Amino acid sequence: CPKGTTIAKDLAKHLRDADKGRIGEVKKLVTFVGKFADWKRLDVVLHAAAVYEKTFPDLGTAVIGSGPQEAVDQYEGLAKKLGLQRTFFLGAKGQDVLAEMFSMSELGMFPSYKEPFGMV
């Protein structure tokens, strides 16, 4: 894992330009990596983020992965509906970026109810 990787120094380079201004006070990160498919249960991650964003103002969520545009729109729409301010959709990323993201994360969240080919 990349040594010295930090949220303050490294998170912004992986975010969309429109999201960079929302990093704010994020000092801790929960990371989800997976295909945008029902069995991965990204909706559970987003609902959990809605709870912990209210309780922990320095905690953010990184969502890494992709799927059909319909699924991307569905989950990004859910994040907006839930009012998530510190949840960032990064899209699909390579192993080098995953290593950086996990290095700066407090927790990886993988609530899949089945996992045919775990690749993370």
**pLDDT > 90? residue 26:** yes
C-alpha 36: how far from chain center: 12
Q: Decide: pTM greater than 0.85.
A: yes
- Spatial distance between the Cα atoms of 102 and 118, rounded to a whole number of angstroms: 16
Place of tokens 């990349």: 2
According to the model, what pLDDT value does residue 120 have? 55
C-alpha 80: how far from chain center: 14
Place of tokens 């959990």: 48
The predicted-structure confidence for 79-114, as pLDDT tens digits, reads as follows 999 999 999 999 999 999 999 999 999 999 998 887
Q: Quick check: 73 and 3 in contact, CB under 8 A?
A: no
